Amino acid sequence: MDLDSKPITIDAVADPNRDDLVLLVGPDKERIPASSVILTTASPVFASMLSPPWKESQTKEIPLPEDDPDAMRFLTLTLSYQNRHEFVVRQRVPREILQIVIAADKYDMCTALKFALYYLLNEASKVYTLESPEVPADVSGEDIAYLCAAAYLLDNCKHFSEFSLNLMCSRKKPFQDLVDDELISSVLPAKFFVTLADNFAHIPLGMSQAIERWVKHSPMFDFCACLYPTRYEQLVLQFGVPNQVPLAIKRLRFLLLEEREWLSEECMVGAMEHRRLWGERSTLMVYLQGVESSQAQFCIRKLKGISTCEAKHARLIR
């Protein structure tokens, strides 16, 4: 999928039956036609801006020098029900999504655009997914951090936890570098980066130790010829190499899925299902439960100091 889409030129001719003003957006004052009726209905901020004395003035141009032109164009087209416009439906990169969400939040349009904004996040989650067993070479930490920030602004804890875990499992550079990005740091609180670094420091170590205990103490390795402990021993070694940790976490997730299938298979030695032969207590999943209980910390409510959250959080160990 080509995410490096070229900018699309939009016809700025106003609809004479609806558009009665022009937004002058960004430092270059790009002209975007808009309807005062639609803007004031969707946005309390615009309702205040376009109330008297502006309403009685003759000007039909609204300067918005600090806003992103493409983001404002997306908002005005979507609010005008032009959902099939090529500019609206094209694939967007994470930075563009964040800029759209920032603009919607600034003008208090998130309620009016609730489903459109959710659609953007949901589509992005299919591309920047934690479910891939590898870390794609073209995925940058900045991209996923942009999506974390967008979900945070929209108070979408489900996608926020997914993107945050993916960021932890994909980032190969120091998380502190993300703070230098003004767009990211303007949205995400400092506590998020502290939580991110803390999880990255402790969760992989806990996983590595749990695997070591499992390999050492589980009776499966002494009596079962179906398991190949070398796969897990190699995984432990990966956890010890900093730039291999993200890949090790993702591979562990998929090895756990294989373990579920293995439990239902017949043992080559015991001639019965592994689940019946060894029981659930001998599985790696059980050894990892302590690590799992410390997760689900990527929660918007927790970052804001709220104790309860009803969202379904993404987890490393499924």
Q: Say if 169 falls within a structural domain.
A: no
CA distances from 152 to 83, 149, 282 (A): 25, 5, 39
The answer to the question of residue 43 being in a domain is yes
| Domain limits for position 58 | 1-89
Other C-beta atoms within 10 Å of 45: how many? 14
Could you tell me where the beta strands, DSSP code E, fall in 112-201?
none
Alpha-carbon distance 299 to 101, whole Å?
19
Average predicted confidence (pLDDT) for the chain: 79
Asked whether residue 288 is assigned to any structural domain, the reply reads yes
Q: Is residue 307 part of a domain?
A: no
Give residue 231's pLDDT band: very low, low, confident or very high (50, 70, 90).
low
Domain end (from 40, 66, 89):
89
The pLDDT tens digits of the residues spanning 8-32 come to 444 444 454 467 899 999 999 999 9
* Cα gap 294→288, rounded to integer Å: 10
Q: SS3 for 248?
A: helix
Residue ending a domain, among 89, 108, 125, is: 89
Range 160-187 average pLDDT = 86
CATH number for the domain spanning 78: value is: 3.30.710.10
Specify the pLDDT at position 255. Answer: 73
State pTM to two decimals. Answer: 0.79
At 106-135, the pLDDT tens digits run: 999 999 999 999 999 999 998 887 766 555
Confidence check: pLDDT of 67 > 70: yes
pLDDT score of 266 more than 80: no
Q: Residue 9 has what pLDDT?
A: 42
**Within-domain flag for 276:** yes
Choose the weakest-confidence range: 158-167, 235-244, 263-272.
Answer: 235-244
The domain tally of the chain equals 2
Last residue in a domain, options 41, 66, 89: 89
Nearest C-alpha neighbor of 98 from the set 135, 141, 144: 144
